[in-house]
């Protein structure tokens, strides 16, 4: 646990140095270094652009040997995000985890996933089915609608 705490404080210093006014705002909650919040700016040229998305990150005691649990707090229409729980289907959060990953790099991987959905491993079958059927217009329309409804900057702090 001491190793985890030391690593997380190091990551926090790095984030403070690197993430000023960028597409990512990442910080621990209050006094608990094992609970973090991230705000992601929706990637340009996607139906998520113009949105800000909140992630809740829970770091286990065995970190960095074990991946953090990351979920969307903001509702998002995406094949790799569970509609109700916000769980994210991303290999680095499961079987492809490596201690080389940091919380910041995990957030960047989530941003990349927003740009490049993986419809063959859907947690949201409706979104996955639209993409697998080639209905990009339908998928983009629903994803944009969710972004407008749930992820607009004017509704966030």
Q: Is 89 a catalytic residue?
A: yes
* Coil vs helix vs strand at 41: strand
Residue from 19, 89, 107, 125 carrying the catalytic annotation = 89
CA distance 144 to 146: 5
- C-alpha–C-alpha distance, residues 33 and 129, integer Å: 38
Place of tokens 């991303």: 90
CB distance 73 to 85 below 8 Å: no
**Active site amino acids:** 89
């Amino acid at each position: 646990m001491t190793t985890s705490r030391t690593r997380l404080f190091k990551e926090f210093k790095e984030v403070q140095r690197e993430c000023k006014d960028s597409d990512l705002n990442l910080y621990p909650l209050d006094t608990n270094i094992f609970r973090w919040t991230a705000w992601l700016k929706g990637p340009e040229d996607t139906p998520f652009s113009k949105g800000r998305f909140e992630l809740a990150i829970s770091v286990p005691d065995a970190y960095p040997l074990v991946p953090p649990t990351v979920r969307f707090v903001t509702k998002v229409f995406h094949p790799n995000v569970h509609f109700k729980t916000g769980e994210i289907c991303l290999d680095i959060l499961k079987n492809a985890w490596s201690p080389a990953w940091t919380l910041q790099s995990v957030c960047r991987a989530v941003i990349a996933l927003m740009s490049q959905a993986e419809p063959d491993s859907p947690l949201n079958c409706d979104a996955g089915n639209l993409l697998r059927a080639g209905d990009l217009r339908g998928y983009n329309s629903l994803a944009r609608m969710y972004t407008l409804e749930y992820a607009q900057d004017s509704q966030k702090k």
